[in-house]
Chain A
Amino acid sequence: MIQHLLRVSHVSKHFGGNVAVHDVSFAVDEKQIVGLIGPNGAGKTTLFNCITGFFPVTSGEVIFDIKKINDLRPDEVCRLGMARTWQRVKPLGSLSVLENVMVGAFSVTNKARQAEEIAIEQLKSMGLTDYASKSAGSLPIGLKKKLELARVLATHPKLLLLDEICGGLNHTETDAILDIIRTIRQRGATIVFIEHDMKAVTSICDRIVVLNSGEKLAEGTPEEITNNPDVIAAYLGGGHHA
């Protein structure tokens, strides 16, 4: 069997009687960028929460780097090398931008000075150096998203899960973020990302997984997905404005 970096296998998540995710399987290989798309309420974020340890799965397995991580806490998952961002950004509001990124960097070092060096480096590559001493809560949304990315990259993840990192951004901001993602990829990172912006997804992903009503609808290359009639029906016919 081929060794994948992340393997999601028959994962289901129920909330009481509601089935949010049903029997979803897919795999991510190293250095791939995989897009996770689907209409609102398709279960994308719930799946992310299951993979990263925020929700326990109802059934199924999540395997990261040969290790079963179903029962791990989010912080353990992060220290194994899988890091995530949030759809609704979560800046540590009263800390400075630099300190936010330092918090991420502390997962790879115990020394404040080293953490600061890593953070300064990250801010530079993200073009946030000028804002280093600003309080994170005061940034506009576009910069908050960048900060979130810088912070999560400071944990030096092997696998990056991005939850609508372009959500709420205008075209220029979106392009800036996509550029950053391409750079990260060149450095050899593996990325799974949830996105609504169809153009963003197809322009950057190697493979796409489509969720609908909690179930996997299709999986394939961007070309296969854009031509898949089921996807078109569910995604566009579902009244979604991509």
Chain B
Amino acid sequence: MSFLQPLLSGILTGGVYALAGIGMSLVFGVMNISNFAHGDLMMLGMYLAYFAFTLLHIDPYLSLVLIIPTAFLFGYVLEKLFINRVINHPHQNQILLTIGLGLIMSNTALLAFTSDPKILTTSYSSSAFNLPGGISISVPLLLSFLITCVIIAILYIFLSKTTTGMALRATSQNREAAQLMGINVAKMSAIAFGLGTALAATAGALIAPTYYIHPLAGHSFLLKAFTICVLGGLGSVVGAGVGGIIIGVVEAMSSTYLSSDWKDVVVFVLFLAVLLFRPQGLFGKMGGQS
């Protein structure tokens, strides 16, 4: 098999991973919280896309127009109701709280939608472009990747050009200093969590046409998202973007050359290796928060 095939599909899948990773990194940067409910928020995005398609007959990619604001609002409210109350607590309490919220989400989904996996089949779900050299590119994967690029570009402009975006980055760099400069850090936290949720749900919706949709689908993405963040340096948005692509490629390569059963193991070993040898991430400066 050609080396280019796994490389290409790895990059395309990695784009969507990057989206999930960026969401988590944003939350970590601004709030200094590891969000263990991130995978479950992705799962919610998958179901939103599924129901928009089956009930409202909206194409999963178009449904993002609905999903993004809904998820943002959901995340914003979640932060106001729960997360901000543990923002000064020890890390383990924050982790446990988000684990608890994740369990509530996934198990409510289990009760509501049962554990039978759902499949979102669009007219183009299994179509692919065939390139010379026997390489094929799945249409939904390519579409997801392109949409991801657009969203990341918008996010980048938002963070670097708008007042809110700059306030978010300032909070991320130094929460206390930001507060002294008159930035409403409580509001920034809620916005960051809303954005993180929206990005997770978007990633979920984007992979919905190519994955089985079920209540526990988010769990395998949770650790992946963490690996991406750690690779890029926790809190670094650009790093998370590159980290996502790397994870996508590593996964595709290990599926091709090792076995798809072991691809997650490879990802976690990589995760530990980065923590050990470059805890500041591949691109980060020193910043191992203690």
Which residues of A approach B to under 8 Å, CB–CB?
15-16
Contact = CB atoms under 8 A, between A and B. Distances in A.
B154 interface: no
A16 B162 CA distance: 31
B187 interface: no
A16 B280 CA distance: 13
A182 B82 CA distance: 52
Contacts of A15: 286
B285 interface: yes
A4 to B, nearest CB: 33
Contacts of B286: 15-16
A86 to B, nearest CB: 14
A142 B177 CA distance: 28
A16 B284 CA distance: 13
A75 to B, nearest CB: 17
Interface in B258-280: none
A3 to B, nearest CB: 37
A55 to B, nearest CB: 12
Contacts of B285: 16
A15 B286 CA distance: 9
A15 B285 CA distance: 11
A178 B285 CA distance: 42
Nearest to B285: A16
3 contacts: A15-B286, A16-B285, A16-B286
B279 to A, nearest CB: 15
Contacts of A16: 285-286
A13 to B, nearest CB: 14
A7 B286 CA distance: 30
Nearest to B286: A16
A32 to B, nearest CB: 34
The 3 A-B pairs with the shortest beta carbon distances in the complex, nearest first, are: A16-B286, A16-B285, A15-B286
A15 B280 CA distance: 14
A224 B270 CA distance: 59
Nearest to A15: B286
A5 B248 CA distance: 57
A66 B285 CA distance: 37
B278 to A, nearest CB: 15
A16 to B, nearest CB: 7
B183 to A, nearest CB: 25
A33 to B, nearest CB: 32
B184 to A, nearest CB: 28
B89 to A, nearest CB: 14
A153 B285 CA distance: 38
A140 B217 CA distance: 51
A16 B287 CA distance: 12
A130 B286 CA distance: 44
A218 to B, nearest CB: 32
B105 to A, nearest CB: 33
A16 B285 CA distance: 9
